[in-house]
Structure 1
Amino acid sequence: MTDNNPYNFLPLQPTGRNETNTANTYHPEDMIKIYEQQFLIQVPEEKLTEFLPALKAFYDIDNNTLDVSAIIFDAIADAAIIYNHKVKVGGYQLLGRLVEESIEYDEDNNSEEGVEDKDIKAYTLECQRTFFINDVEIPYHFNLFIYGDGYSTLTKKDTVLEKMYWFVRGRFEEDLLDDSEDNDTLESINERLASLDIRTMDLTTTDEIISYVEDSIIDDAMIDELNKLLDAK
């Protein structure tokens, strides 16, 4: 940290000036780095008003360049920035084998849509998806329940990301099947995050990250592999 670079910005080499000669241009990957720094660098509250002007001055860029970098990030980056945390989806593993489950039908409701076809089979499968928070790899284990064209997941409670899931779910669902009193607190979760050198999170951040995880837990490649397993049954 120096007086010329008080926020430890990453030095990057610009490629020149843009067509209006108002700001340096950068390679797309460098613009992404600048955009990430804008949201990932920890800045003391009393320095917030000075931070953005310092970033623009260090790279000799204008607001339009920052806007463009945001568009590039959204278009090609494989990560999302959620309240000062970069979250990235990693690979997946299908653990074990498909286990066929027996389904009990309510004879009084046979006429309802979705239950008249008793030939539909149900399966469970142990799975794992890897996520990265600020480049720290965190596994996310879950049991996948497949019924017809639908599915649901039940997450374990071992890794910090799994504990975050149950903490968020426990805050919004009063009738949990498991005892929500056994869930970790935000303080204990942040202690686990700190041990991984991941900065603390507030309630909004945990909610948004878990929403991102749930939206990303199943992808097209995983669905293709699951369909191959189901077709082989």
Structure 2
Amino acid sequence: MTNDNPYNFLPLQPTGRNETNTANTYAPEDMIKIYEQQCLTQVPEDKLTEFLPALKSFYDIDDNTLDISAIIFDAISDACIIYNHKIKTGDYQILGELIEEVIEYDEEATDKEGAEDKDIQAYTLECQRNFLINDIKMAYHFNLFIYGDGYSTLTKQKTLLEKMYWFVRGRFEEHLLDDSEDSESLESINKQLADLGIQAMDLTTIEQIINYVEDNIIDDAMVDTFNKLLDDAE
């Protein structure tokens, strides 16, 4: 940290000047880095008004360049920024064998709805999806329940990301927890985040990150793998 670079901006080499020759231009990947720094740098509240001018001065850029970097980030990056935290979907693993489940039917309901539902098979599969928060890898284990054309997931409560899920969702579903009395608090979650080098989160940030996790837990590659396993089982 120096007087010329008080926020530890990452030195980048511009590729040239813009069309009016008034500000630097950068390669797309460098513009993404600038955009990330703009959104992820922790700034003391009394320095907020100084931060953006300092960033623009350091890189000799204008508002238009920052706007373009945001567009590029949204267009080509597989990460997103949620309240000063960057989250990205990582790889996945299948942790166990596909297990066929026995479904108990309500005979009266089955008679009314049709006996064809009895032919639908159900399976469970232990899986793990990795996510990266500010480039720190965090595992998310879950049990996948496949029934006909639908599926549902239920996560464990061991890793920090899983604890964050139950902190948000488990308050309304405590009967699903293995150890409902051993619940996390916002303070304990932030302490564990700090141990990983991740800045503190408020409840809104945690909720948005969990929403991202739920939206990205299964992708096309995983669906292809599941379908192959189901074809082999049948």
TM-score w.r.t. length of structure 1 = 0.95
- Structure-2 change in CA distance of 1:97 and 1:58 (3 Å): same
Q: Aligned AA for 2:104?
A: E
Shift of 1:177: 2.8
State the partner residue of 1:10. Answer: 10
State the partner residue of 2:219. Answer: 219
Are the counterparts in 2 of residues 163 and 184 from structure 1 also a CA contact under 8 Å? Answer: yes
Are the counterparts in 2 of residues 101 and 123 from structure 1 also a CA contact under 8 Å? Answer: yes
State the partner residue of 1:58. Answer: 58
For residues 109-149 of structure 1, the C-alpha deviation after alignment (integer angstroms, 9 at most, x for no partner) is: 22666974211100000001111111111111111100011
Q: Aligned AA for 1:194?
A: A
Are the counterparts in 2 of residues 167 and 185 from structure 1 also a CA contact under 8 Å? Answer: yes
Are 1:196 and 2:199 matched, yes or no? Answer: no
- Structure-2 change in CA distance of 1:151 and 1:174 (3 Å): closer
SS at match of 2:161: helix
Q: Aligned AA for 2:198?
A: I
Shift of 1:210: 0.5
Q: Aligned AA for 1:9?
A: F
Shift of 1:20: 2.4
- Structure-2 change in CA distance of 1:184 and 1:175 (3 Å): closer
State the partner residue of 2:162. Answer: 162
Gaps of 5+ in 2: none
Which structure is higher in helix share? 2
SS at match of 1:227: helix
- Structure-2 change in CA distance of 1:156 and 1:177 (3 Å): closer
State the partner residue of 1:25. Answer: 25
Q: Aligned AA for 2:196?
A: L
SS at match of 1:138: strand
State the partner residue of 2:228. Answer: 228
SS at match of 2:5: coil
Shift of 1:16: 1.1
* Distance in 2 (alpha carbons) for counterparts of 1:115 and 1:47: 68
Shift of 1:180: 4.1
Cα RMSD of the aligned pairs, angstroms, is 1.6
Shift of 1:183: 1.9
State the partner residue of 1:49. Answer: 49
Q: Aligned AA for 1:68?
A: I
1:171-186 mapped onto 2 (5 Å cutoff):
171=171, 173=172, 176-178=175-177, 180-186=180-186
Shift of 1:78: 1.9
Are the counterparts in 2 of residues 105 and 115 from structure 1 also a CA contact under 8 Å? Answer: no
TM-score w.r.t. length of structure 2 = 0.94
Are 1:69 and 2:69 matched, yes or no? Answer: yes
Gaps of 5+ in 1: none
Q: Aligned AA for 1:177?
A: L
1:28-177 mapped onto 2 (5 Å cutoff):
28-110=28-110, 116-171=116-171, 173=172, 176-177=175-176
- Structure-2 change in CA distance of 1:111 and 1:64 (3 Å): farther
SS at match of 2:98: strand
- Structure-2 change in CA distance of 1:93 and 1:174 (3 Å): closer
* Distance in 1 (alpha carbons) for counterparts of 2:99 and 2:135: 34
Shift of 1:80: 1.0
